[in-house]
Amino acid sequence: MNKQSVREALDDALSGIKEDAALYQRVLFSARRGAPERKGEKFFVLAAALLLLLTATGTALAAVNGWSVLQFLFPGNGDANKTKTEPVHQEAVSEGARLRVDSAAYDGRTLAFDWSIENTKPEIPMYCRVEAFTANGARVWTDGTDSFDETWMPGCYEDASWQDGEIILLPQEAIGAEKLHVEMKVLLFRPQRPIAQIGGCEDFDPDLAARKIAEGYYVIAGGDGFVVYDGEEEKWMQVFMPKELPMDMGAYQVETLEIRFDVPLMKEEALRLQAEQNYENAHGRAHYETADLTSLGLYLTLKLEPKDDYFRQNGNWKLTDETGAAFLAPLADMSQVRPEGWAAGGTHAEYQWYGLKAEDLPDVISLTWVPDQGENVLFPVRVR
C-alpha cells in the first residue's frame, strides 16, 4: 500500500464528518492512536498529548465485572462523586467473547457508560470493531480515547480482557430526550492463519514482520491496527481505519456482540454560569446561548456577530481564566467555530468538556479568541 492508498482510505473513512470539527478530531484520535511507523506524525502530536491527559483510560482487568461508569469517569474517587447513574447490567456473549455494560449516565447532552470486554479464547487473537452505534436512532461514534475500535485482544492485554468506557457528546437529534435508547454492535474478527505478534505495544520491526509473513503468518503489530505492505517505502508498516479488512488477512471467523440499554435523563439542575446579557468590543458583539455545568460536563456556546475580519484571521478559541491564561488548553479544547455562520453575519464558538467540576474551575472562565497576531478577545462568565 503506497502513501496515496493510505491517504485515500483515511479520506474515505472520514468523509461526511469533516464539518463536525469535534467529531473529526475524535475520529482522528482513533485512527492514529499509538501507531508505530506513523506517517504525518506532526499532525497528530496534539491528539497524542490529549490522550495522555485523559483520565479515562482503558486498563486490563482480572474479571469482567464490578466496573462502573463512576470509576471510569472519576478514577480513584468515583464512588464519592454525586453523578446520578443508572444501573444497566447488560451482557452480550458470543462463542469466544463477552461484552458487558454495568452503568450509565446521561445529562441531556452527554452520554457516559462503562464497558468491559473479554476474549474467552485468548489463544486465538480477535480484532474488535464497533460496527454500529446509535442513541435514539442517531448515529454516534466511540470517543476515540482507548476505544476498543482498532484493537487486537489479547494484543497488549495479557489477560485478554479490558475495561474502559465511553463519554460521548451527542448529535443534535439525540439532545434533550427524556430517555436514551442505546444500541451497539461489535464485530470480532479472528484470522484462521497462524498469528505472530511483532513488537510490543510501543514498537514495530518491519523486517521481522516481512520474514514472518513470508513464513505464512498473519502479523499483528503490537495491539492495534493492521500490518500492510507499503510499495513506495518498500516495507511493511502499520495502518489504521482501512475501508475493508486487508486482503492478506485471508480467511477469518466473525463473531457478533450486540448490546442494548436505556438511560433516563438525570434529574439534576445544571449549574447556570453567570454570563452578561451581551458582550461588545471593537471587533464584535456576542451573547452566550449556553453556559452550563453538570456533573458530566461543561457546556459553553457563544453566538458571535463580528464587526470586522478580526475573528477570520488565524487563531483558536480557548478556554481561559479571566486574565486570558488558558487552562486545560489547548489539549482539552474541543471548541469549534461554525464557518457557515459568517455568511449570516455571525458564528458560534462552542466548548464542551467532561469531568470538570466547579471546584476545578477558577471563579471566572472565558471562551477566548486567541489570534496568531493581536490581542486576545475574552467573553468571561462567572462560576461563583
pLDDT tens by residue, 71-104: 887 777 666 677 888 999 999 999 999 999 999 9
Q: How far is CA 73 from the centre of its chain?
A: 14
161 plus 183 within the same structural domain: yes
Query: Does pLDDT of 28 surpass 70?
Result: no
Q: Establish if 221 belongs to a structural domain.
A: no
Average pLDDT for residues 305-315, to the nearest whole number?
85
Does 230 fall in a domain?
A: no
- 17 CB-near residues (< 8 Å, 6+ apart): 23, 24, 27
- Lowest-confidence range among 25-34, 101-110, 137-146? 25-34
At 103-129, the pLDDT tens digits run 999 999 899 999 999 999 998 889 888
- Among the candidates 264, 298, 316, a domain finishes at 264
Lowest-confidence segment of 18-27, 171-180, 217-226, 257-266 by average pLDDT: 18-27
User: Shortest CA distance to 363 belongs to which of 333, 330, 320?
Assistant: 320
> Does 211 reside within a domain?
no
Give the span between the Cα atoms of 34 and 57, in whole angstroms: 13
Pairing outcome for strands 86-93 and 97-106: antiparallel
Mean pLDDT of 174-183: 94
Same domain for 326 and 256: no
Domain annotation covers residue 229: no
- Helices and strands (H, E) in the chain, number of each type: 5, 23
CATH number at residue 279: 2.60.40
Residue 356 in this model has a pLDDT that exceeds 70: yes
Q: If pLDDT is split at 50, 70 and 90, which confidence band does 196 have? A: confident
* 60 shares a domain with 30: yes
Alpha-carbon distance of 284 to 377, in angstroms, equals 10
* End residue of a domain, out of 230, 264, 298: 264
Assess whether 177 and 314 both reside in one domain. Answer: no
User: Which pLDDT value is given to residue 52?
Assistant: 28
Instruction: Give the separation between CA 169 and CA 238, rounded to whole angstroms.
Output: 30
Residue 312 domain-assigned (yes or no):
yes
In a domain, 213, yes or no: no
pTM of structure: 0.73
Question: Checking phi first, is residue 315 left (phi over 0); if not, alpha (psi -120 to 50) or beta?
Answer: left
Give the residue-averaged pLDDT of 297-326: 87
Last residue of a domain, one of 220, 247, 264: 264
C-alpha closest to that of 175 among 136, 144, 142, 141: 136
Which of 48-62, 121-135, 219-233, 244-258 has the highest average model confidence (pLDDT)?
121-135
75 close to 68: Cβ distance less than 8 angstroms: no
| Higher local confidence (pLDDT), 103 or 237 | 103
The verdict on 181 and 323 lying in the same domain is: no
pLDDT at residue 53 greater than cutoff 70? no
Q: How far apart are CA 76 and CA 66, in angstroms?
A: 14
Percent of the chain with pLDDT over 90: 29
Confidence class for position 69, pLDDT limits 50, 70, 90: confident
User: What's residue 44's pLDDT?
Assistant: 26
Would you call the peptide bond into 154 cis, given omega within 30 degrees of 0 as the criterion?
A: yes
* Listed ranges 26-40, 70-84, 169-183; the one with the highest mean pLDDT: 169-183
Q: Which residue has the higher pLDDT, 6 or 366?
A: 366
Q: Is 20 found in the same domain as 165?
A: yes
pLDDT reading at 18 higher than 70: no
Residues 106 and 12 in one domain: yes
In a shared domain, residues 11 and 140? yes
- Average pLDDT on 181-192 reads 93
Residue 359 has pLDDT above 50, yes or no: yes
Q: Which of 279-293, 303-317, 340-354 has the highest mean pLDDT?
A: 279-293
Closest residue by Cα to residue 39 from 63, 78, 72, 9: 9
Cell 479488512 sits on residue: 245
- 321 & 252 share domain: no
Assess whether pLDDT exceeds 80 at residue 355.
no
Confidence bin at 383 (pLDDT 50/70/90)? very high
Residue 333 has pLDDT above 90, yes or no: no
51 and 100 together in one domain: yes
Number of other residues whose CB lies within 10 A of the CB of residue 124: 13
Is there a single domain that holds both residue 117 and residue 164? yes
Strands 195-198 and 218-221: parallel
| Domain residue limits at 348 | 271-382
Q: What is the pLDDT of residue 281?
A: 92
At residue 227, the pLDDT reads: 83
Domain count, the chain: 2
Task: Give the rounded distance of the alpha carbon of 61 from its chain centre.
Answer: 21
Is residue 33 domain-resident? yes
| CA gap 268, 213 in Å, rounded | 56
Whether 223 maps to a domain, the answer reads no
Q: Helices 21-32 & 3-14, crossing angle to 10 degrees? A: 140
For residues 177 and 310, state if they share a domain.
no
